[in-house]
């Protein structure tokens, strides 16, 4: 093995041991914008306080959910892990297929429009590519 490859291998091992692997991989991550949508189900949240802390630009986690009402359900979580809502059923089939095939998707808040107690939260959905 050449000297440069050995150095990179050692850096990777140290970063893994120190929990810094995320920082090491960040330059290799490419987010591909797939679609714009909104967050469904915000009026049915048990913990409505999450809506007070999220803001435009926040990154959101998408996670498949075993759901008796929608076999393609995709849960949307805030950075702190609290439920914000769902990808709308009308938009989720292709994203569910991608996620079921092992692809990683994320979302980002593009706009928040508050009318009374209703929060219309627009999001962009991204394919996270390594």
The CATH number given to whatever domain includes residue 86 is: 3.30.70.2330
Distance CA 85, CA 116 (A): 18
Residue 51 belongs to some domain of the structure: yes
Number of domains in the chain: 1
Residue 7 lies in a domain: no
Residue 11 lies in a domain: no
Question: Is 2 part of a structural domain of the chain?
Answer: no
Q: Is residue 13 part of a domain?
A: no
Position 115 scores a pLDDT of 92
Does residue 12 form part of some domain? no
Residue 88 falls within a domain, yes or no?
yes
Q: Which domain holds residue 83?
A: 30-129
**d(C-alpha 110, C-alpha 100), whole Å:** 25
Examine the pLDDT at 66 and tell me if it is beyond 70.
Answer: yes
pLDDT digits 0-9 by tens, 7-47 = 454 555 455 455 555 565 666 678 999 999 999 999 999 99
């Amino acid at each position: 093995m050449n000297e440069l490859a050995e150095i990179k291998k050692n850096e990777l091992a140290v970063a893994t041991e120190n929990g810094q692997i995320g920082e090491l991989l960040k330059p290799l991550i490419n987010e591909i914008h797939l679609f714009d949508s909104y967050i469904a189900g915000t009026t049915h949240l048990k913990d409505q306080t999450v809506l007070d802390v999220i803001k435009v630009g926040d990154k959101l986690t998408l996670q498949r959910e075993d759901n008796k009402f929608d076999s393609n359900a995709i849960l949307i979580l805030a950075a702190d892990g609290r439920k914000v809502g769902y990808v709308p059923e009308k938009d989720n089939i292709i994203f569910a297929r991608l996620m079921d095939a092992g692809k990683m998707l994320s979302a980002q808040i593009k706009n928040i429009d508050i009318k009374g107690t209703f929060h219309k939260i627009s999001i962009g959905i991204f394919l996270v590519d390594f």
